[in-house]
Amino acid sequence: MKKARLLLKRTVPAVASAAAAALLLSGCGGASVNQVAAPAGATDAPCGAVNVALNAWVGYTANAAVYSYVAKNQLGCSVVQKDLNEQISWQGFASGEVDVIIENWGHDDLVKQYITDQKVAVDAGPTGNEGQIGWYVPPWMAEKYPDITDSKNLNKYASMFATSESGGKGQLLDGDPAFVTNDEALVKNLGLDYKVVFSGSEAALIQSFRTAEQNKTPLLGYFYEPQWFLSEVPLKKVSLPAWTPGCDSDAEKVACDYPTYTLNKIISKKFADSGSPAAKLAKGFKWTNEDQNAVATDIQGGMTPEAAAKKWVDAHQDVVTSWLK
Amino acid sequence: MMSTLVRDRSSVQPAPPAVKEPRRRPSRRTTLLAAAVVVWILGFLFLHGTSTLALPASELTDLHRSLNQFNAWVAANRADNPVFLYIFTPLRAAVDSVANLFTTIFAASSTGLRLPEIGWLGTVGLLGWIAFAVGNARVALLTVAVFTFFGLQGLFVEATYAFALVLTAVLLTLLVGIPLGVLAGIYGRVAKVITPVLDFMQTLPTFVYLAPLALIFLIGPASAVIATVIYAAPPVIRLTAHGIRAIPENTREASDSLGTTGLQRLLTLQLPMARRTIVMGINQSTMAALSMVTIAALIAAPGLGQVVVRALQSLDVGTAVNAGLSIVLLAIVLDRVTTAASRRAEPGAARNRRVSRKTRYLLLGVTLVLALAMVQLSRSMLWAAAFPKDLNIGPAIIQAVSSASQWMQNNLSLFTVSFREAVTTGILNPFQSLLTDTPFYILVAVIAIAAYALGGWKLAAITTACLGVIICLGLWSDSMVTLAGTLVATAVVMVLGIIFGVAMGRSERVDQILRPMLDAGQTMPAFVYLVPFLGLFGATRFTAIIAGIIYAAPVAIKITADGIAAISPTVVEAAISSGSTPWQVITKVQLPMARQTLALAANQGLIYVLAMVVVGALVGAGGLGYDVVAGFVQSTLFGKGLAAGLAIVFLGILLDRMTQAAAAAPLRKIPSSKTPAT
């Protein structure tokens, strides 16, 4: 018991006095740098803080970087970027943890849940980017086996794509578990002799395609555009049976290609109604696939997202001005 | 990710009775085990590929669909259900305000420039002073050095965010954990109820409850703190209970004879006597909380975890290692300071001190003034509030690590890839197919027979029930994939455990060299070493197995080393003097005598490998881990992820009970169930 008393005797007063001192200083110390320095470059419209979800692919980072750069430097907002999974980000609308998702791919189920039913989020219009998901092969394969880009011929090449992971069948490499994918159902419903193997992330997918092109090894994988990597290695898309409206409505019976996605922005209802200039910016934000790829390539080349955004904004000030009107 | 799976139950069974039972017993067990193997192989050969209960990754069972409803239910009830109104929402608000308080003090306030109330200089001074006051000058210096180093790494803000959240989580953990532990220590009935719950809390992968927690408490610091508390509470509860129960009966009786009331006894006898064990529990819980930093980042907890997770997504090894280093350093500081604090209060510690009490108080006073001056400076001067940006060696570290890993990838990948292919096609695939292609009823029968042979009817019943649950969850095939990977990884872990454990047990010097490396292997967040392995081995099951091995091997090695070192030196000397070679000493004396310890090492190795199943799924492992991760990120797979988490728990129970039974002495008729219920 003496031990405990001793421990208490040492610890409690020490921590308590430190805490008291800290409180004293924060309470009546007066001078705090936080209060002394007013936010720099504040404009007439009050902006405050904007929470931007940061999803895990480079194209998204490019959009988010440019949006954040403009919000911060031209509107005087304080921007908080949060690394979040695509679907987890939507949960943040209700709590105010997330204000903006700056590049959204489809997700009808989430649109129904959060926009239609719960009414905590609103569609802030297209980003101007068109998204295409599909199956791709490295360019050397398309050159050597011209008919490989038709899904009807894939069974012929299945053995070539076999790996130690695919259990004797051909391997179809998929990306992050969060990505929109019908691939397992597609393989089954198109009668393909393939097995879907998940690589776990976009980065692993890119690395795999890069190695495949360098070493001229076979690879069939999930990929999508807009994507900066396509300017480094121009992957060739494999054509699946054409998409028709409604052909993918039953997730377990899909037998057609992915639709062309009109990528859009989703912002929280509260944020949209707040009249914040940053909400206006989110609604106005619109550019092209080329713009996004340019910024994304810079980021991937080692530039910080902020510097890459600055470079693009400086060169396209007229576009940015049109967003703010 | 689960670096501290403290289980104070002792799995080491008492030695078998000296009287030998008739010879038939062991042979009967062997016959049964052999029969099980024969049934398995025949079933595999003749019924190959039938009734395998395979379920493709994107398909769901009705159970999964109904679990999906949870999501919609929460959304529909959040606003008006009393459970939310009176329990969850206030709880979230309370946790949030505590977390906010610490975040505002140390990391960033929500006003102005988002600078903390106490800038970096103040933080360094204040924390250094606290370390000095509760510990000694040495840990104070360590604290100051490490927190300054965070700044040099360019990660001061991230590190203080992580520190603030860990602090919040540990405080709440102690608030809940110590009273619960005391109750469990005093009342056996409470312990009986609480133990399976704690087992469940420690085996359920954190990913599984992360998604439901985020649904209920919304993403952000509150959910992250609550998830951390769930994960970090069991060690302190178990160890507090253990400490109180371990007080000798006669001491208690002596106290009772003086007529103390229950509360008096608790305050004057039980708590003080259990203090050492409780402090150990606090220490373990702190480490567990720290290991959640990266996982919590997935639901938007700010701090170092975010840096690591982002680096994994872009395969940026350098950045991941830089942030991982910060986490390890933070762990070292918290560990050393809590240890020093407990040592300071040991009886007699004051007598051995070099400085007198008076001098010490004087020193404390002077340093406090200094620390407060630093706090004041950091509140008024910008240079002391935000760490100077030009004093940044972070990019240098990142650059160095990146180029080293690039070199490894360029020069070793040919070797590593062929090694991977050899292991995968030679061992992993045949073994996995043996598990996944055998009809499920054959495998259930085989496992039940083996369980009966190892532990009698009771164990057979438990294992069959576990397998039954897994089948009902609709995830049999995925469970077998996971089981295959887990067993292969555990086999390697045991080989490493024996090789290095024997070396460490036999030589003090080897022990000294290896131990810090083992500690680092356990504290470094798994996410960090996943990145270089992804570069070396690609996204495959093999990479996941390696990650599991790195995480589990230190435990197995440490346990084995302790077992070998504990063998009485006279026995070893006797063997040497009778002319045994070192090899004979190891194989004929030390390993057989450490048999119980080896079994314990295997048991812990298995549990630790299983804890990594979900993390492994981030680099290409399939099976249950993938289901859990996919359930976390795809709302349509939510129910399946939940089911997969439960399947991991039941797989864990099954493996734990089987290895414990195997660890029991071979001659015993009925292996005792878990020794003293915690």
Per-residue pLDDT at A20 exceeds 50: yes
Write out pLDDT tens, residues B563-585: 888 888 888 888 888 888 888 88
Contact A32 B117 (CB under 8 A): yes
Cα-based angle A33, A34, A39 (whole degrees, multiple of 5) = 115
* ipTM reported for the complex, 2 dp: 0.75
Give the burial class of B193: count Cβ atoms within 10 A of its Cβ; 0-12 exposed, 13-18 middle, 19 or more buried.
exposed
A contacts of B220 (beta carbons < 8 Å): 92, 95, 97
What's the rounded mean pLDDT across residues B426-437?
89
Per-residue pLDDT at B67 exceeds 60: yes
Q: How far is B429 from chain A (nearest CA, A)?
A: 8
B contacts of A198 (beta carbons < 8 Å): 57, 539, 620, 622, 626
Q: Could you write out the DSSP letters of every residue in B416-485?
A: HHHHHHHHIIIIIHHHHHHHHSS-HHHHHHHHHHHHHHHHHHHHHHHHHHHHHHHHHTT-HHHHHHHHHH
Residue B142: partners with Cβ closer than 8 Å, 6 or more residues away:
B131, B332, B333, B336, B337
Contact A198 B110 (CB under 8 A): no
Write out pLDDT tens, residues B369-413: 998 988 888 888 778 778 888 888 888 888 898 888 888 877 787
Whole-number pLDDT of residue B675: 35
What's the rounded mean pLDDT across residues A151-165?
89
Which of helix, strand or coil describes residue A171?
strand
B contacts of A167 (beta carbons < 8 Å): 429, 433
Write out pLDDT tens, residues B141-161: 999 999 999 999 999 999 999
B contacts of A200 (beta carbons < 8 Å): 539, 617-620
Residue B200: partners with Cβ closer than 8 Å, 6 or more residues away:
B649
Preferred mutation among B277, B633, B637 to probe A, highest tally of A CBs within 10 A: B633
What is the CATH number assigned to the segment(s) A18-131+263-323? 3.40.190.10
Q: Which residue of B has its CA nearest to A167?
A: B429
Per-residue pLDDT at B6 exceeds 50: no
Whole-number pLDDT of residue A10: 55
Helices B62-77 and B206-217 pack at an angle, to 10 degrees, of: 30
B contacts of A6 (beta carbons < 8 Å): 344-345, 350
Render the burial of A173-200: b for 16+ CB within 10 Å, e for the rest: bbbbbbbbbbbbbbbbebebbbbbbbbb
Preferred mutation among A52, A57, A95, A228 to probe B, highest tally of B CBs within 10 A: A95
**What letter does residue B353 receive in the DSSP assignment?**
-
B contacts of A182 (beta carbons < 8 Å): 58
Q: Which residue of A has its CA nearest to B210?
A: A88
Write out pLDDT tens, residues B595-619: 888 888 888 888 888 888 888 887 7
Contact B620 A252 (CB under 8 A): no
Q: By the 8 A CB rule, do B665 and B6 touch?
A: no
A contacts of B115 (beta carbons < 8 Å): 33-34
Q: Could you write out the DSSP letters of every residue in B574-597?
A: HHHHTT--HHHIIIIIIHHHTHHH
Among B220, B372, B626, select the one facing A95 at the smallest CB separation: B220
Give the burial class of B164: count Cβ atoms within 10 A of its Cβ; 0-12 exposed, 13-18 middle, 19 or more buried.
buried
Q: Which residue of B has its CA nearest to A16?
A: B130
Contact A178 B633 (CB under 8 A): yes
Whole-number pLDDT of residue A134: 93
Q: Could you write out the DSSP letters of every residue in A144-160?
A: HSGGGGBGGGGGGGGGG
Q: Please report which confidence band the pLDDT of residue B665 belongs to, taking 50, 70 and 90 as the band edges.
A: low
Write out pLDDT tens, residues A180-204: 888 888 999 999 999 888 887 787 7
Contact A184 B57 (CB under 8 A): yes
Preferred mutation among A9, A60, A83, A166 to probe B, highest tally of B CBs within 10 A: A83
Question: How many angstroms separate the CA atoms of B410 and A98, rounded?
Answer: 40
A contacts of B224 (beta carbons < 8 Å): none
Among B109, B269, B306, select the one facing A1 at the smallest CB separation: B269
Which of A254-258, B503-507, B669-673 shows the lowest mean pLDDT across its residues? Answer: B669-673
Preferred mutation among B218, B277, B403, B478 to probe A, highest tally of A CBs within 10 A: B218
C-alpha dihedral sign at B4, B5, B9, B10? negative
Contact B345 A56 (CB under 8 A): no
Which residue in this structure is represented by tokens 């109904």? B66
Structure tokens at B490: 């555990």
Whole-number pLDDT of residue B604: 84
A contacts of B71 (beta carbons < 8 Å): 113
Q: How far is A184 from chain B (nearest CA, A)?
A: 7
Where are the domains positioned within chain A? 18-131+263-323, 132-260
Whole-number pLDDT of residue B189: 92
SS3 content of chain A, % helix, strand, coil (to 5): 50, 20, 30
Q: Which residue of A has its CA nearest to B532?
A: A204
Q: How many helices (H) and strands (E) does chain B have?
A: 33, 0
Q: How far is B511 from chain A (nearest CA, A)?
A: 32
Contact A7 B342 (CB under 8 A): yes
What's the rounded mean pLDDT across residues B430-449?
90
Per-residue pLDDT at B89 exceeds 90: no
Contact A87 B342 (CB under 8 A): no
Distances (CA, A) of B374 to A12, A233, B151, B340: 22, 54, 16, 24
Among A34, A110, A117, select the one facing B115 at the smallest CB separation: A34
Among B273, B541, B633, select the one facing A165 at the smallest CB separation: B541
Q: By the 8 A CB rule, do A208 and A172 touch?
A: no
Among B59, B372, B622, select the one facing A25 at the smallest CB separation: B372
More confident: B311 or B531:
B311
pTM, rounded to two decimals: 0.80
**What is the β-pairing status of strands A100-104 and A170-174?**
unpaired
- Chains A and B form CB pairs within 8 A to the count of 226
Report the DSSP beta bridge partners of residue A130: A262
Architecture of domain A132-260: 3-Layer(aba) Sandwich (3.40)
Which of A10-14, A209-213, B469-473 shows the lowest mean pLDDT across its residues? Answer: A10-14
